[in-house]
Amino acid sequence: MREEENVRLTRTGPGTPAGAWMRRYWQPVALSEELDGVRPLVAPKVLGQDLVLFRDGDGELGLVDRGCPHRGADLALGRLEDGGLRCCFHGWLFGRDGTCLDTPAEPAGGNLAARVRLGSYPVREINGVIWGYLGPGEPPQLPALDCFEAPAGHTFAWKGLLECNWLQALEVGIDPAHASYLHRFFQDEDPSESYGRQFRAASRGTDLPMTKILREYGRPDIDAVRTPYGIRITALRTLDGTDTEGRPMDGSRTHVRVTHQVFPHGFHIPLDADTAITQWHVPIDDASCYWYAQFTSVGGPVDRAEMRRQRVDAVTLPDYRPRFGRSNGYGYDPVEQLATTYTGLGTDINVHDQWAVEGQGAIQDRTREHLGRSDKAIVMYRRMLGEAITAVERGEDPPLVLPAERAAGLRGPVTLDGIGPTEGWAEHWTAVTAKQRAESGWAQAAGTDG
Ligand code: FES
Ligand SMILES: [Fe+2]
C-alpha cells in the first residue's frame, strides 16, 4: 500500500476523507451503564471530537460539544440542574438540544442567550449502547440487523479500549486464519463456556474440541463475497485427520465458520450456537479506539449480570482499559508459551487480539506488509473502504447508508460455527439456521441479503 493510501484510509478526524465517510453512520459513543451513577454524564472522545453525553432532568439524552460556547470552559464538569447542563465558569445553562437557556451573569433582559448555541448531535439508545450521529443532515435509518432488533433481554453490551488505530482493530476480526495460531491451545481439556474461551468449547454438531480443529487445520479455505452490508466470510476446514480417539476421518465432514464484516467498522461473529457478537470499532482518535460488542441470542434470554461479572475483572473502569496491556507485557509467560498456549498470554483470547493489533503500532505502516491469500477479506474490505470514501467525496451514499425501506429489509446476518457434511454444506447449514431463527420467537428470516 502506498503511504498516501494508508493515511487516507486510517485518519478520521474532522475534515479528513475517511472522517467524512465515517460520520455518515451512527457511532457508538458509550454504554448505557456508564450513565448509571449519581451523575449521569460522561465525556467521550469520538473521531477526534470532544463531547459530553448526559441525561437531563427528564431522563432524556443529550450529546453536545465539550467546550462551552461562552469562553471555552470544560463542560465535562458541568452541573446537571434546572433541566440541562450548566457550565461551572459563569453558570450558562444548555438544554440537551444545545439551546442556551440562561446566562445568569449577564444583565437581565439581554438577548445574548438567543444568539448562542452549543453544538449538539442526534442520539439514541439501543440494547445497552448509546449511539450518536456526528455527520451532516438527517441521520440514516439503522438496518434491521439482529443487534438492533433483538429484544433487550436477549442482548448484552460491553466495550474495551485498544491503543491503536481503528482499522487494524477491525482487520483482526475479518481474518479467519489467525485463530489457528494466535488462539491455539495445546491441550483440549477443560472446555469452558466462560469468557474469552469460545475457541475452547466443543464445536457444534460434534464432540471434536474446537481447540483440536484450529490446531490441526491451520490452512482454512477462505472465501469472501461482497454483500449489501459489507462482506460475508467463509472459512472451511475439511476434517481428514484423526478424531479424538485417533481414528482416521474420511473428509466427508467439514468445519464451517461464517462471519461478516458490517459497514462501517464492524464485524459479526458467532460466540456459540445461539449467540452472535456484533463488534464495532469506533475511533477515539487516530491512535486509539473502543470496541463495542453487542451480544445477541436467538435462543433464550441471556444472563446479563453473569456476562458482565465475567468481563468486568479484565478491565479497569471508567475507561474499560484492559488490565493486561503494553505496560505489563500483556502478562507474557514463557513457560506457558512452551506448554499451554501459542502466545504465552493466558487463555483470554481478547488479550491475544489486543497484543496482535497494538503490536502493529499506533497506526500500522501498511507500506511494509506482505499480504497472502488468507488476507482475502482484508484486501476486499480496504478496497470497499476506499470506494466508500470516494463515494462520499462525490456526494453519494456509502454502503449501508440506505433508504428506509431497504434498511428495514436487511436482516441477520447469520453467523455459523459448526461441523456438517462436506457435500452440500451450504444447503445443510442454511436449513439448520433457518429453522433456528424460525423457532427463536423474534429473529426474522434472514432473507437473501443476510
Ligand atoms: S465559559 Fe462557560 S459560562 Fe463562561
Ligand atoms: Fe482473534
**pLDDT 10s digits, 280-301:** 999 999 999 999 999 999 998 9
Is the same domain home to 80 and 221? Answer: no
d(CA 255, CA 434): 19
What band does 95 get if pLDDT is binned at 50, 70 and 90?
A: very high
Pocket test for ligand 1, best of 68, 101, 112 (most atoms within 8 A of CB): 68
Residue 48 backbone phi and psi in degrees, to 5 = 80, 5
The full DSSP string for 161-183 is: EESS-HHHHHHGGG-TTGGGTTT
Q: Considering only 148-162, 192-206, 248-262, 297-311, which range has the smallest mean pLDDT?
A: 192-206
CA of 49 to the centre of ligand 1 (A): 19
Angle at 116 between CA 115 and CA 117, to 5 degrees: 130
Final residue of a structural domain among 67, 102, 133: 133
Residue nearest atom 3 of ligand 1, based on CA coordinates: 90
Could you read off the pLDDT of 41-80 as tens digits, one per residue? 999 999 999 999 999 999 999 999 999 999 999 999 999 9
Ligand 1 atom closest to 73 (CA): 1
Ligand found nearest the CA of 79? 1
What band does 448 get if pLDDT is binned at 50, 70 and 90?
A: very low
Pocket test for ligand 1, best of 86, 90, 101 (most atoms within 8 A of CB): 90
Mean pLDDT of 340-368: 97
Ligand found nearest the CA of 118? 1
Mean pLDDT of 163-183: 97
Is the same domain home to 187 and 110? Answer: no
Final residue of a structural domain among 133, 158, 180: 133
Could you read off the pLDDT of 140-170 as tens digits, one per residue? 999 999 999 999 999 999 999 999 999 999 9
Is the same domain home to 85 and 168? Answer: no
**Which residue range is the domain that position 45 belongs to?**
28-133
Is the same domain home to 73 and 112? Answer: yes
Question: Residue 449: is its pLDDT beyond 90?
Answer: no
What band does 441 get if pLDDT is binned at 50, 70 and 90?
A: confident
d(CA 432, CA 417): 12
CA of 97 to the centre of ligand 1 (A): 17
The three cell numbers of residue 331 are: 502478562
Tell me which amino acid residue 396 is. E
Q: Considering only 158-167, 185-194, 263-272, 317-326, which range has the smallest mean pLDDT?
A: 185-194
d(CA 372, CA 178): 12
The enclosing H or E element of 409 equals helix 404-409
Please give the tally of structural domains in the chain: 2
The answer to whether residue 449 is domain-embedded is no
Is the same domain home to 118 and 155? Answer: no
Is the same domain home to 196 and 115? Answer: no
46 and 29 Cβ atoms separated by less than 8 Å:
yes
CA of 51 to the centre of ligand 1 (A): 16
d(CA 385, CA 399): 9
Q: What is the CATH number of the domain that holds 90?
A: 2.102.10.10
Residues β-bridged to residue 86: 79, 93
d(CA 267, CA 301): 22
The answer to whether residue 447 is domain-embedded is no
The three cell numbers of residue 419 are: 461441523
Is the same domain home to 149 and 129? Answer: no
Residue nearest atom 4 of ligand 1, based on CA coordinates: 90
Question: Quick one: 99 exposed, middle or buried, by C-beta within 10 A (0-12, 13-18, 19+)?
Answer: middle
Pocket test for ligand 1, best of 66, 85, 92, 106 (most atoms within 8 A of CB): 92
Final residue of a structural domain among 85, 111, 133: 133
pLDDT of the residue at 450: 47
Is the same domain home to 230 and 282? Answer: yes
Tell me which amino acid residue 347 is. T
d(CA 396, CA 135): 14
The answer to whether residue 446 is domain-embedded is no
Mean pLDDT of 230-241: 96
Ligand 1 atom closest to 71 (CA): 1
214 and 199 Cβ atoms separated by less than 8 Å:
yes
The answer to whether residue 78 is domain-embedded is yes
CA of 123 to the centre of ligand 1 (A): 24
Is the same domain home to 242 and 310? Answer: yes
Is the same domain home to 403 and 255? Answer: yes
The answer to whether residue 11 is domain-embedded is no
The answer to whether residue 306 is domain-embedded is yes
Ligand 1 atom closest to 103 (CA): 3
Ligand 1 atom closest to 72 (CA): 1
Mean confidence (pLDDT) of the chain: 94
Could you read off the pLDDT of 198-207 as tens digits, one per residue? 555 555 656 7
CA of 103 to the centre of ligand 1 (A): 9
What is the rounded (10 degree) CA torsion for 98, 104, 110, 116?
Answer: -20
Mean pLDDT of 247-262: 96
Is the same domain home to 129 and 209? Answer: no
Mean pLDDT of 97-125: 96
CA of 280 to the centre of ligand 2 (A): 14
Tell me which amino acid residue 258 is. V
- Please give the share of the chain, as a percent, with pLDDT higher than 70: 95
What band does 444 get if pLDDT is binned at 50, 70 and 90?
A: confident
CA of 311 to the centre of ligand 1 (A): 39
Is the same domain home to 156 and 260? Answer: yes
CB-based pocket (< 6 A), ligand 1 = 68, 70-71, 73, 87, 89-90, 92
13 and 385 Cβ atoms separated by less than 8 Å:
no
The answer to whether residue 315 is domain-embedded is yes
CA of 27 to the centre of ligand 2 (A): 23
Angle at 178 between CA 369 and CA 258, to 5 degrees: 115
d(CA 35, CA 395): 36
The answer to whether residue 60 is domain-embedded is yes
